[in-house]
Each structure stands twice: as structure tokens, then as C-alpha cells.
Copies of this chain bind each other. A is one copy, B any other.
Amino acid sequence: MEKNIVVIEGDGIGPEVTRQAVKVLNAIADQFGHEFNYQYCLMGADAIDKTGNPLPDETIEACLNSDGILFGAIGHPKYDNDPSAKVRPEQGLLKLRKSLQLFANIRPVTTYSSLQHLSPLKAQQLEGVDFIIFRELTGGIYFGEKELSEDGNRAADNCVYTRTEIERIAHLAFQYARQRRKKLTLVDKANVLETSRLWRKVVQEIASQYAEVKVDFLFVDNAAMQIILNPKQFDVILTENMFGDIISDEASVISGSLGLLPSASIGTGVALFEPIHGSYPQAAGKDIANPLGCILSAAMLLDHFGLAKEAEAVRLGVEWTLVNGFVTKDIDPINFYFTSTIGELVSDFV
């Protein structure tokens, strides 16, 4: 099989971790007789430095013509504390999501028994945790009209949703739920927000087409508690963009190993795969970042290509490193291996 993959290294530790994921993809290609072609593209602070633009048109173009995108991370502190910066790295990612219509961000939340000791939660909270968050990614307050008054003393962000936007991701989430434990939880704030009430109405309507799936509704404040108090109650969580940003990051701490969590952003065409950890600038260039989140994102990319056996081989390689104590500094601050070593080990295994 021949596939054209766009690699966006991005900012901070992005380049280091994507490099390991590409190493693993190459090992898979060798082992299973595929041909993966890579095209490297710019986005984020890196793109601003080199071109002045957080998302050059060539990147969008290349993505649209590719079979899949592997992405590292975005963001740089020099932009964060300057509220009046006109150009910011994150604009690149948001524009890419919109241009490619990546309307669903999918984040599996699983725990690794070899890493349970790293979780901030007690063991009884962790047993049986296995859920997926579907976060809407191209609507809501991220993309509504923004305003800043002339005198700079009044700001506004509009949150908008249409029935169509809700329906397409809801169907996706229901389809997943049907294949899993048949439970879907909509997280919203329907007691306050008009948009949330639209979400609730549309999901209630669609639910009748998936009679075997049990549907629950949780206010986002309550969800923020339940995710910690009793995470095993969840199977598929569906939510809008801003709430999804918050609760999916919250959920990522359950496993105690943020550095291992992958995500997929999918839409009508090409899909994008990225680790959920951010650009982690303090670690950049030190060969200490955990590449497993990006390597497991590459596994999701392989799944997306229909290469299930290959994806499984990558996951087994990852498990093997963990079980045998080949871990990066985030997992074991004393006896740790370098980013590049972990990449080698997984590549050698597959």
C-alpha cells in the first residue's frame, strides 16, 4: 500500500516526537511492505518564524492532497502573555481544523496497568476505565464572531451552533457507542445556554435512530466532577468544542500518563492525528519528551488507513517498552531513557 502522509512537526517538542513516530512508521512500512511518502509542512510558531503566517497556504494544499496528517504540537510562551499579539500560533491549528472540516476530535481515555502508580487517582477509581470523548472541533465559541471595542475595554466571543453541525458528530458518536458498551453521555449546560439546549434537542431526536444506545445528559459542571469521582461510568462522551477542550484535558490525567495519549481529528475528508500533550517548551530540544503519544497517534493513522494489524504491532511495541521499564523522564524521573531511544526500541520491536 502506498500512502502520502503530511508531517507537521510544529512547536516545542513537536519535532522530536514526530521524528520518532515517523521512525516507527518506516519500520512498519519495511516490515509489512508498504510505501509511506512524507511531506513536511509548517504550522504554528515555527511557521510564523519562517513565513510570518501560522498556516501557510501550501500546508493546507498539501494536507488536502494527502492521505493523512501526523501532527506534533503547537504553541509558544512568547505569544501567551501578550494579549495584544496580532498573529498567534494557535490560529494556524484552528484554521487548519476549519479548512479541512475536521469536525470531530476523538480521544480515547484508557489506563495502563504498568503505569497505575503514576495516576493522581486511587486504584479503585481506575479499574475498568475505558471511554472515548467526541469533541466538536469546528464550531462553538472557538469560531464565532469576536469583538474588541475601539477603546479596548469591551470584548466578546459569540458561541454558535447549527443543527447540521451537531447532527454529523452526534451520528459518529452514536455509531461508536453502538460498537462499544452502548452508552452515550451528552455533556452540556442546557440549564443556562441556548446552544446547549439545541445540542440536547438534536441528540434526543437522533437517539431514536439508535434505540440500543442508552443516552444520558450531564451538565458540564457535574461532568467535571464525575470524570474524577467515577470515570468508569462513561463509554462515549459527546460534547461541544469548549467543554470538550476542558473535560478531555481533565480526563487525560486519569491515567497518570498524559504523554501517552493520542487523538484523531476527523471530518469529511483527510484526517489528522496528534498526541494530546502540548508543545511543552521547557523540554524542547532535550530529547526527554515522551514520544509514545505521537507514536500511538501514528497507530491511529494506520487504523484509519485500514491497516489494523500494523496498528496493533505499534501498540504492542509501545506496551513492550512500558512493561520492560523503557520509559521517558515523565514516567520515571530517575531511570529514564531518551525520546530517541524509545523511538528506536518501538521501531525495532515492530
Contacts and interface: CB of A to CB of B under 8 A. Distances in A.
26 contacts: A75-B191, A81-B217, A83-B190, A83-B201, A120-B122, A141-B193, A144-B156, A146-B193, A154-B161, A154-B162, A154-B198, A155-B194, A156-B158, A156-B161, A156-B194, A157-B193, A157-B194, A159-B159, A220-B246, A221-B248, A222-B249, A222-B278, A224-B250, A225-B252, A246-B247, A250-B250
A200 interface: yes
Given A80-B219, A119-B122, 8 more contacts: A83-B204, A94-B192, A121-B228, A122-B122, A142-B192, A146-B194, A152-B163, A152-B201
Interface string A141-175: 11010111000111111111111100000000000
Interface in A162-220: 162-164, 189-195, 197-198, 200-201, 204, 217, 219-220
B221 A245 contact: yes
B197 A225 contact: no
Contact of A225 (B84, B198, B249): B249
Contacts of A193: 141, 146, 157
Contacts of A79: 191
A215 to B, nearest CB: 10
A86 to B, nearest CB: 11
Interface in A230-250: 242-243, 245-250
A307 B75 CA distance: 49
A196 to B, nearest CB: 8
Given A156-B160, A253-B229, A217 B122 contact: no
A225 B258 contact: yes
A162 to B, nearest CB: 5
Contact of A156 (B155, B159, B189, B228): B159
Interface of A: 75, 79-81, 83-84, 88, 90, 94, 119-122, 125, 141-142, 144, 146-148, 152-164, 189-195, 197-198, 200-201, 204, 217, 219-222, 224-225, 228-229, 242-243, 245-250, 252-253, 258, 278
B120 A191 contact: no
A164 B217 CA distance: 36
Oligomer copy total: 2
Nearest to A203: B83
A94 B193 CA distance: 12
A156 B194 CA distance: 6
A174 to B, nearest CB: 18
B221 A155 contact: no
A225 B204 contact: no
A52 B127 CA distance: 47
Output the residue of A153, A192, A200 with the most chain B CB within 10 A. A192
A192 B161 CA distance: 17
A343 B150 CA distance: 55
B198 A148 contact: yes
A83 to B, nearest CB: 4
Nearest to A258: B225
A152 B163 CA distance: 8
A148 B202 CA distance: 14
A245 B225 contact: no
Contacts of A228: 120-121, 228, 250, 253
